[in-house]
Amino acid sequence: MRRLFRSALLLAGLLGGCASGPPAPVDIDTTADVCAHCRMTIVSSTTAAQIVARGEEPTIFDDLGCLRDYVAAAGLPAGALVFVADHRTGEWVDGRMAMFTQTSLDTPMGSGLVAHASAASRDLDAAARRGTPVPVRHLLP
């Protein structure tokens, strides 16, 4: 019985390491996580972003301007996905599908950039309604 239990644990561990599907966003701890670019503590989950690649630690950002500057300097790892927080809902959105807006909002590092999952989400966000659309290519390659 003990041998069967150890075998089951070993198999579960092996299968857990073989997760299928694309990398997923991680939860951000606004009391402990720091931005990979500016090194400041993440203070708002609605302006955050992250780069996630299989086999690597997630790279977390407090401001979309930090994400933009980091990617411009370092690029993206092969197979990496970028997730951005929908400013209105806080939900993670695939960065390549997000809508970005330049606003007059006071974001953590002052970029004023926010993201939304859709035009509908942006239009429901009073803070972004009067902003200027920013093409995704201005943030991500």
* pLDDT value, residue 35: 97
Query: Measuring CA to CA, which residue among 41, 46, 35 is closest to residue 91?
Result: 46
pLDDT in tens, 104-136: 999 999 999 999 999 999 999 998 989 999 999
* pLDDT value, residue 39: 96
Enter the pTM of the model.
0.84
Confidence of residue 11 (pLDDT cuts 50, 70, 90): very low
Overall average pLDDT of the 29-55 stretch: 95
The pLDDT of residue 13 is above 60: no
Residue 115 CB partners (closer than 8 Å, separation 6+): 49, 64, 84, 85, 86, 87, 93, 95, 98, 99, 100, 101
